[in-house]
Structure 1
Amino acid sequence: MTADRAPDPDPHPDHAATDPFDATMVPALPCRDIDELRDFWTALGFDVTYRQLRPNPYLAVRRGGVDVHYFGLDGIEPQDSYSTCIVVVEDTEPVFEAFAAGLRARYGRLPLTGFPRITRPRRRANAGGTTGFSLVDPAGNWVRVMRRSPAAAAPATDAAGASAVDAYAARPEGRLARALDDAVVQADSHGDPVQARKILAGALRRAGDDADAADRVRALAYLAELTVRAGDPDAARTHLDDLDALAGDLAPDVRAAVEQTLAEAADLRTALPG
């Protein structure tokens, strides 16, 4: 049996209190063509930090503190991808605007369907109510951009001790607002705009004219987007027409509260085919 001995002295005493997991973790995502991803990300303001074709295709891009790596994988189809990563930022809006500007410059529009595509920043009920959006790259990988939650700074506890592990936000008042929360989770988190459309269309139909006006505006605007994402632009026009009619009767304070939503709906109309 060997005797216990004192540990070796720390060669870097200033690091004694450093968490060994205070580190950087970088996602490596699959793709068929690394140069397609290179062109995509450089259009969004990223720099190429590494590229090789042999012995295996590999690409690394970076902007600020965001690194994304890709490895070539033959036979992978974008629609079959299950790969994803999460980017946590202080504010999702400027990140979205930077991505949107790059996408519009490259594709002439903000792509809502196909590959690549993007969603807008919205409250995510399944992420504690923080805002988030998703960018799906040309290879079908989901890059999920989320706003840092204040709760993230606090240590998590298990369900027996506290509810910190329960990431679902408190439900808003009003059935239509709750349906909007559910639709966002289905479409923007789970990638199912068809089911989200059913949820929101049914809620709007049941609510009628009695629902809160601001909730109706937000629900109609999102329903119009969902119909585009579900491949039904004609229905989107109908929903946008209904939204325009509703907007004309809004009280000034309500209109001010939904001004951004109305602007996004107008942007959606300009992107409709025909």
Structure 2
Amino acid sequence: MAGTRTVPLLPCASIDEVAGFAAALGFTTAYRQQRPNPYLAMRRDDVDLHWFALPGHRPEDSYGSCLLVVDDPAELFDAFAAGLRERYGRLPLTGFPRVTRPRPRRNAEGRTGFSVVDPGGNWIRVVRGGPAEEPPGTSSRLARSLADAVVAADSRGDVDQAARLLDGALRRTPDADPVERVEALAYLAELSVRREDAVALRMALQDLAAVPLDDAQRSATRPVRQQAGELAGQAPTA
């Protein structure tokens, strides 16, 4: 069917709230109405997302979801993150809206992906197109647990289960590769922010800072450690 397009229709409580959020992601308004029913159409390049206001809608009860297949999820994430930081003053990791970071997904044949959850509680799932990659978590026990935690939290939204998985794996593998340990502790710190657990966040960041690294390992983990440093400013009140 040449020229056929599919446009997701997502529920929300307020199209005004969604409009500001979508604008932060770089979308512009293609159509908007208040009567007879509030409706919003937003566009970014070739991507169209539409929202409709549903009386009594609660974002925590939403099952809305859509999939964006792109060439470079990391590039799109950087653009989204810059807009979200400008609008909300930080990268929102909890509540509505929120975002996860790009990571290889074992349940997507190793393809890198991330998710944005909009103010209506709908999951906008971004994944890299093209051929499958080597699935993560094949190198060690800790790497496998990290891959399982990413699926649990970033794909299924079960942050508590992901934290339990990763915390247990870290305790059972004290001699794990330092780079893998840094990556796991950084993700555990992020999960702690998302769980609003200030104590767990502080402990994860302390353990991360204590991991001994040589120059090559320090260079390899620099982006991950910088992301973890950003989390310190989002520490919830204990």
Bin of the TM-score, shorter chain as denominator length: over 0.9
Find the counterpart in structure 2 of residue 86 from structure 1: 67
Find the counterpart in structure 1 of residue 104 from structure 2: 123
Find the counterpart in structure 1 of residue 156 from structure 2: 190
Instruction: Trace 1:92-171 onto structure 2 (pairs within 5 A).
Output: 92-151=73-132, 169=135, 171=137
Counterparts of 1:34 and 1:273, CA distance in 2: 29
Determine helix, strand or coil for the equivalent of 2:139.
coil
Counterparts of 1:254 and 1:243, CA distance in 2: 13
Change in 2 beyond 3 A, CA 1:193/1:51: same
Q: What is the deviation of 1:234?
A: 2.2
Maintained 8 Å contact 2:193/2:234: no
Counterparts of 2:108 and 2:17, CA distance in 1: 31
Maintained 8 Å contact 2:105/2:136: no
Find the counterpart in structure 2 of residue 24 from structure 1: 5
Change in 2 beyond 3 A, CA 1:168/1:70: farther
Find the counterpart in structure 2 of residue 217 from structure 1: 182
Maintained 8 Å contact 2:15/2:51: yes
Q: What is the deviation of 1:149?
A: 2.9
Counterparts of 1:144 and 1:245, CA distance in 2: 34
Find the counterpart in structure 1 of residue 27 from structure 2: 46
Counterparts of 2:178 and 2:4, CA distance in 1: 47
**Is 1:250 matched up with 2:216?**
no
Out of 14, 20, 27, the residue aligned to residue 33 of structure 1 is 14
Counterparts of 2:76 and 2:130, CA distance in 1: 16
Q: What is the deviation of 1:91?
A: 0.6
Instruction: Render the CA deviation track for 1:138-165: whole Å, top value 9, x for unaligned.
Output: 11000011111325xxxxxxxxxxxxxx
> Aligned AA for 2:164?
K
Counterparts of 1:257 and 1:171, CA distance in 2: 18
Counterparts of 1:43 and 1:221, CA distance in 2: 26
Maintained 8 Å contact 1:49/1:61: yes
Q: What is the deviation of 1:170?
A: 6.7
Maintained 8 Å contact 1:127/1:168: no
Q: What is the deviation of 1:169?
A: 3.1
> Aligned AA for 2:35?
R
Instruction: Render the CA deviation track for 1:56-93: whole Å, top value 9, x for unaligned.
Output: 21110011111100112111100000110011111111
Bigger radius of gyration among the two: 1
Counterparts of 1:22 and 1:252, CA distance in 2: 53
Counterparts of 1:45 and 1:222, CA distance in 2: 27
Question: RMSD over aligned Cα, in angstroms?
Answer: 1.6
> Aligned AA for 1:198?
R
Counterparts of 2:195 and 2:84, CA distance in 1: 20
**Is 1:181 matched up with 2:147?**
yes
Maintained 8 Å contact 2:193/2:236: no
| More deviation, 192-201/35-44 | 35-44
- Where does the alignment leave 5 or more consecutive residues of structure 1 unmatched? 1-19, 152-166
Percent of paired sites with the same residue:
56
Maintained 8 Å contact 1:27/1:85: yes
Counterparts of 2:198 and 2:171, CA distance in 1: 20
**Is 1:204 matched up with 2:170?**
yes
Find the counterpart in structure 2 of residue 270 from structure 1: 233
Determine helix, strand or coil for the equivalent of 1:240.
helix
**Is 1:229 matched up with 2:210?**
no
Counterparts of 1:223 and 1:170, CA distance in 2: 17
